[in-house]
Amino acid sequence: MSSALVAQSRSDFGKGAARRLRREGQTPAVVYGPGTPVTHVSFDSHDLVLTLRKRASSIEIVLDGKTLIVAPRDIQIDPVRRDLEHVDLVIITAAEAASIEREAAEEHARQEADAAATIADAEAKAAARAERQAAKEAGTSDAADDSASDSE
């Protein structure tokens, strides 16, 4: 986790306040966890989208001078514009973050292995198809040569 997102605490709630934040380029969010009160915050929308795109498993945030490790619990996206509308973040421990990162890395490795196997299978099928096509073309040209020599 390289750089932490900066969260601004907010005291305005509701639809109007959320719309005002979004117009200002902010995304409303809620941070909660075991033994901690629910905290309403906002993030710079662009930075949050980039962070969620790159590291959706665990994120470091700075809230009131404290650095917290959080994981996205719920992400709400506008169905038409595809803009980020709201994010729920749950506070996790460093051990939980490491476990989540490890599981994400293992899943990524599995997906890469599956993709490599699919590519190898497709290449083998393409090579077999090319060999059959070449054999078919060679067979038709040999048959044409045989019929030409028979007519002489």
- Give the global pTM: 0.65
pLDDT tens profile 41-99? 999 999 998 888 876 678 889 988 888 889 888 899 989 988 899 999 999 888 888 88
Buried b (16+ CB within 10 A) or exposed e, 8-31: eebeeeeeeebeebbeeebbbbeb
User: Among residues 88, 97, 116, which one has the least CA distance to residue 55?
Assistant: 97
Give tens-digit pLDDT for 86-118.
999 999 888 888 887 888 788 888 999 999 999
